[in-house]
Amino acid sequence: MVDNSDNDLLDLDEEDYDTVLAPDIEFSGKIHFEEPFMIKGTVSGLIDASSDLLIDEGATVNADIHASRIIIKGAVVGNVTADKMVHVFSSGKLTGDVTAPEVVLESGCYFTGICTMNRPGS
C-alpha cells in the first residue's frame, strides 16, 4: 500500500518554493540547498540537498541528484537518490539509476535505469 503522507509535496505551487530557477536560466556546477527548490531551467553538474526538489515540465537536468523528496516532471539524466521518495510524473523522463524508500513511476513516464527501493534510513 502506498503511503500518501508525502502528497503535500505534490500539491505545492511555485510560490511555495523558497527558490525557483527560472526557465531562461542555465546553470552549471554544484547546487546545495536546505529549503524546497524548483528547477524550471537547465542545470548540469551535481545537486546535493537536505530538502525537496521539483524538476518542472520543460526543465532539463544533467546531474546526479540527492535530496529528501524528488519530483520529476521534466527531463533528468543522472543517478537520483532520495531519503524519502522519488515521483516521476507522466511528463517526466529519467535516464539513470534511482534509489529511494518509495518510487512512483506514473503511467506514460520514461524511465531507463536500475530501481532500488531501500528501507528508510538504510
Q: What's the grid cell of residue 120? A: 528508510
81 neighbors 101 (Cβ within 8 angstroms): no
Residues 46 and 32: their CA atoms lie apart, in Å, by: 9
Q: Give the pLDDT confidence score for residue 17 in this predicted structure.
A: 79
- β-strand 98-100 against 75-77: which pairing, if any? unpaired
Q: Could you tell me where the DSSP H helices lie in 4-96?
A: none
Residues 102 and 116: their CA atoms lie apart, in Å, by: 9
Is the model's pTM score more than 0.85?
Answer: yes
* Band of pLDDT at residue 89, cut at 50, 70 and 90: very high
pLDDT in tens, 32-70: 999 999 999 999 999 999 999 999 999 999 999 999 999
Give the long-range contacts of residues 34-37, CB within 8 A, separation 24 or more.
Answer: 36/12
Residues 5 and 116: their CA atoms lie apart, in Å, by: 21
Give residue limits of the domains in the chain.
4-117
